[in-house]
Chains A and B, each alone.
Chain A
């Protein structure tokens, strides 16, 4: 097989919000640098596109960055690094304003200033929104803005299979060009991973098909730790069969969560008393982890409804009226009509908690730098951590701007400092190419089906790493994942074509997902406490003595990952009780 070569100064893997923001920041930091942006899909297909509700930043005079920081930290059950949070809340308004200047169609007040709406877990409303297609508009604005820069060169529909690491430094990546099957080595002085999350390791998720944890697995395989992987966010309101997200904005506009008796059940879970109008940090505007946990408790009491795709409850927005729904939640109505065949103006929406977001990810510092020289990460794939044990709704879109920008700048500075490389890229790339050839081109005798391994992974992740977890269930998942790791080595691939071979890509994605799943289960098993989204039936209390610390999962060949711990940075908000609705 021929080995094709390409090079750039800063290589960004992933072209969603974080990757594109990083590209612009790198181009601004040093206009002489050649910036490569590689993605397995065209940039505007990236999953940022699906985010609905909004992005948080302090802009109004009744708000303050300290409020934003406190909401974020208490929302994260004190697992957030407070220095990172302070940096985040201070940068957030600047970043959001830049996006406004670049053309993002933010919803406005009558006087033409940016409008904000409340979101779950917030003391003051501070979520900027573009109706309920905020992620879509942010992504397209960023992508279209990058077209201005001739030094940003894209590798659209290239799939990365390996980071090139030589002499303790990340110096590029190996990737397959999907259209041709050609394998490229792309040399770079610095690499930024911005590949988003890994919701597809679970069966029911709001995540798109492409969210297979690629970047997390690439870094993990290169020896970088995955941090806080046990913290998996369930969004309380997904459509049951498809997992399609129904935005939290439905609740900030005044929607009710109802059980089978039409009762606003959240009042039974220490989230406040029901009021006709939404109250901040109360009831339906509680944090996502607490709402998803309340669903399971209702289910145990037999007060949920039964459907073809599991139990569900209702989200009722009928009382908001046609005008508000069409003006502020048009996408919700469109999704319900097109995918669930119901009209939320007249009918209640069936919902259930579905996997939505990874608080954990590639271990980075506040500059987006990893422990591997030349390797950076930002966005959902990274863990700085501002999100702690539970992310506050509308912080993730802002995070990808703030830390995308920061990582882009840091990587550009790093790339500007180092001389062109003396790395032995060719021999490392050739090894990978041989491996890829053996993996799919010559493979004829594999006996394991992709779909079967994927289904078994889904089952064991839902059982062992769901909303409530226990030692016993997790041990079972751990051995299941380990055996799937063996079986994936013997995968069957029927497609031997070089042209747009999606079966091959699915097989590699599956192996990435298993690596990430392994880190999730092992990290969850060792955290013997309950905090934020990580709830254990066998250790129901938060334990700050032993576990006010980040978990770091390191990959081991042929054995389970090793878990180490690092301290959480506390600046001015000592750990306290999370109080909602009282």
Chain B
């Protein structure tokens, strides 16, 4: 095992102890197969038991361990230390969120927004479904599959310039999930979701830059979902302008 070391400069904030955040430096072994999360676990086990952060699966699917690493939102379980050698590496909580403590962010805002977009199958007859399965061809599945891959890791909110300025913005992941259901051939709830999203000014401030899609670890492309919504929304607007009797 290599004896090389690398320094992590870690954001610390303990509300009972500090009024303002500080950075604390820790020296950890620089191992080829270690990710940033392994380094944090090393710190927790051997250097400083008081460091708080979230993590669970260590395989990029539970979405717990998102943090800013050298200014970019990443899953720390999927980011090798080696990439940043010789260091130092700056580790901070995800941007655009209040900090609970150290690297732990407050994310109840997202949880509420998620519920608001009604991320479940809506059927007009309120019946659950046919006796057997709904028929859904591979190409119908492909229509929405990409948007169903969101792990709610919050990296996109952290990268989103609109959410930073306009916390009321429904935001990339929740809109992508709304679109995931809108585009599922089993669902009939598009109008209900459109109604909600049409009151969201943030959507119109969203540009084509697509920082959210850039940082998404699962290639969900929330920016694409938002643009599609805009097109659908604009079409509805034109419809209501040209054909006021044809309310969706």
- Answer yes or no: are A and B bound together in one complex: yes
A497 touching B141, Cβ below 8 Å? no
Q: Is A550 an interface position by the 8 A CB rule?
A: no
Question: B37's closest neighbor in chain A, by CB?
Answer: A209
- Chain A residue numbers with a CB within 8 Å of B56 are 41, 45, 47, 208-210
Q: Is there contact, CB below 8 Å, between B61 and A503?
A: no
B127 CB, min distance to chain A CBs, angstroms: 9
**Contact, CB under 8 Å: A179 / B148:** no
B61–A133 contact, CB under 8 A?
Answer: yes
Interface band, chain A? 35 or more
Chain A contacts with B in 437-457, Cβ cutoff 8 A = 450-451
Stretch at the interface among A104-112, A297-305, A375-383, A396-404: A104-112
CB atoms of A503 and B133 under 8 A apart: no
Bound together, the chains give a CA A145 to CA B181 distance in angstroms of: 12
User: Is B125 engaged at the interface, CB distance under 8 Å to the other chain?
Assistant: no
Interface residues of B in 69-122 (CB under 8 A from A): 78, 100-102, 104, 106-108, 111, 114-115, 118-121
**B52–A501 touching, CB < 8 Å:** yes
Task: Name the interface residues of A482-518: CB closer than 8 Å to any CB of B.
Answer: 493-495, 497-503
Given known A105-B148, A499-B101, contact A97–B59 (CB-CB < 8 A): no
Within 8 A of A (CB), among B120-145: 120-121, 128-129, 132-138, 140-141, 144-145
Shortest CB–CB separation between residue B83 and chain A, in angstroms?
12
The residue among B52, B62, B111, B187 with the most chain A CB atoms within 10 A of its own CB is B62
Whether A101 pairs with B141 at a CB distance below 8 angstroms is no
Asked whether A112 lies within 8 Å of B136 as measured between CB atoms, the reply is yes
A10 CB within 8 Å of chain B: no
CB pair A113–B133 under 8 Å, yes or no, is yes
Q: A44-B63, A498-B16 are in contact. Are A451 and B45 (CB under 8 A)?
A: yes
Contact of A179 with B128 at beta-carbon distance under 8 Å, contacts A44-B63, A114-B133 already known: no
Within 8 A of B (CB), among A20-52: 41-42, 44-47, 49-50
Q: Is A102 an interface residue (CB 8 A)?
A: yes
Contact of B135 among A113, A140, A334, A338 (CB under 8 A): A113
Which of these, A105, A113, A140, A209, contacts B58 with CB under 8 Å?
Answer: A209
Does A242 count as interface, using CB distance less than 8 angstroms? yes
Nearest B-chain residue to A327, judged by Cβ: B138
In contact, B135 and A112 (Cβ under 8 angstroms):
yes
B235: interface (CB < 8 Å) = no
- Contact of A475 with B by CB under 8 A: no
CB-defined contacts of B53 to chain A, threshold 8 Å: 502
Q: Nearest residue in B to A338 (C-beta to C-beta)?
A: B78
Residues of B within 8 A of A450 (CB): 45, 49
* B36-64 contact mask (Cβ, 8 Å, vs A): 1 or 0: 00000000111011101111111111111
Q: Determine which of B55, B118, B129 lies in contact with A101 in the assembled complex, contact meaning CB atoms within 8 Å.
A: B129
Assembled-state Cα–Cα distance A242/B77 (Å): 11
- Judge if B177 is at the interface, Cβ distance under 8 Å: yes
Q: Is B15 an interface residue (CB 8 A)?
A: yes
Q: How far is the CA of A483 from the CA of B33 in the complex (A)?
A: 34
Contact status B101-A144, CB under 8 Å: no
Known: A45-B63, A102-B121. A497 touches B101 (CB 8 A): yes
Q: Are A47 and B100 in contact (CB under 8 A)?
A: no
Query: Bound complex: CA of A112 vs CA of B132, how far in Å?
Result: 12
A156 contacts B by Cβ under 8 Å = yes
List of B residues within 8 angstroms of A497 by Cβ: 14, 16-17, 50, 101
Contact residues in A for B101 (Cβ distance below 8 Å):
497, 499-500
Bound CA–CA A50/B56 (angstroms)? 10
Interface flag for B221 (CB, 8 Å): no
Q: Give A45 to B184 CA distance when docked, in angstroms.
A: 24
Once the chains bind, are A103 and B186 in contact (CB under 8 Å)? yes
Q: Which of A42, A179, A244, A498: most chain B Cβ within 10 A?
A: A42
Distance of A50 Cα from B58 Cα, bound (Å): 10
Cβ A499 vs Cβ B100 within 8 A: yes
CB distance from A40 to the nearest CB of B (A): 10
Cβ of B132 and Cβ of A97 under 8 Å apart?
Answer: yes
Task: Decide if A241 is an interface residue (CB 8 Å cutoff).
Answer: yes
B55 cross-chain contacts in A, Cβ below 8 A:
209
Q: In the assembled complex, which residues on chain A have CB atoms less than 8 Å from the CB atom of B148?
A: 105, 137, 140
Closest to A452 in B: B45
Main secondary structure of the interface of A (DSSP, over half): loop
In the complex with contacts A108-B137, A113-B135, A241-B52 CB distance below 8 A = no
B152 beta carbon closer than 8 Å to chain A:
yes
Interface membership of B194, Cβ < 8 A: no
Chain B residue at smallest Cβ distance from A243:
B58
Interface membership of chain A positions 129-170, coded 1 if the CB is closer than 8 angstroms to chain B and 0 otherwise: 000010011001000110110000000100000000000000
Residues of chain B within 8 A of A106, CB atoms compared: 133, 136
Whether B137 contacts A103 by the Cβ 8 Å rule is: no
**Is the C-beta of A538 less than 8 angstroms from some C-beta in chain B?**
no
CB <8 Å contact, A41 and B129: no
A:200-223 near B, CB below 8 Å: 208-210
Asked whether A105 lies within 8 Å of B145 as measured between CB atoms, the reply is yes
Cβ contact within 8 Å between A107 and B62: no
Q: Are A101 and B33 in contact (CB under 8 A)?
A: no
Judge whether B52 and A110 touch: CB under 8 Å: no
- A339 to B132, alpha carbons, bound, how many Å? 39
Q: Which residues of A contact B135 (CB under 8 A)?
A: 111-113
Do residues B57 and A49 form an inter-chain contact, with CB atoms below 8 A?
Answer: yes
In the complex, A50 Cα to B55 Cα: how many Å? Answer: 13
* CA distance in complex: A478, B17 (Å): 42
In the complex, residue of chain A having the shortest beta-carbon distance to the beta carbon of B131: A97
Contact at A47–B133, with CB atoms within 8 Å? no
Indicate whether B151 reaches chain A with its CB closer than 8 angstroms. yes
Q: Would you call B128 and A101 a contact (CB within 8 A)?
A: yes
A335: interface (CB < 8 Å):
yes
Contact of B52 among A49, A335, A502 (CB under 8 A): A502
What residues of chain A lie closer than 8 Å to B16, measured between beta carbons? 497-499
Q: Which residues of A contact B58 (CB under 8 A)?
A: 208-209, 242, 244
Cross-chain contact B121 with A50 (CB below 8 angstroms)? no
Residue of A nearest to B132 (CB): A97
- What string of 1s and 0s marks CB contacts (under 8 Å) between B213-238 and chain A? 00000000000000000000000000
User: Using Cβ atoms and an 8 Å threshold, which residues of chain A touch B49?
Assistant: 450, 493-495, 503
Question: Cβ of B144: which chain A residues have Cβ within 8 Å of it?
Answer: 105
Question: Is there an interface contact between B59 and A503, defined as CB atoms closer than 8 Å?
Answer: no
Known: A451-B46, A499-B15. 16 other contacts (CB 8 A): A47-B56, A97-B129, A98-B128, A103-B121, A105-B184, A111-B135, A112-B137, A140-B150, A209-B55, A209-B57, A244-B59, A497-B14, A499-B52, A500-B52, A502-B44, A503-B50
What are some 13 contacts across the A-B interface (CB < 8 A)? A41-B64, A42-B64, A101-B134, A105-B148, A108-B137, A112-B140, A147-B118, A148-B118, A179-B100, A241-B33, A242-B58, A339-B78, A502-B53
Instruction: Identify the 9 closest CB pairs spanning chains A and B, nearest first.
Output: A101-B129, A112-B135, A451-B45, A144-B119, A495-B50, A112-B137, A500-B101, A208-B56, A208-B57
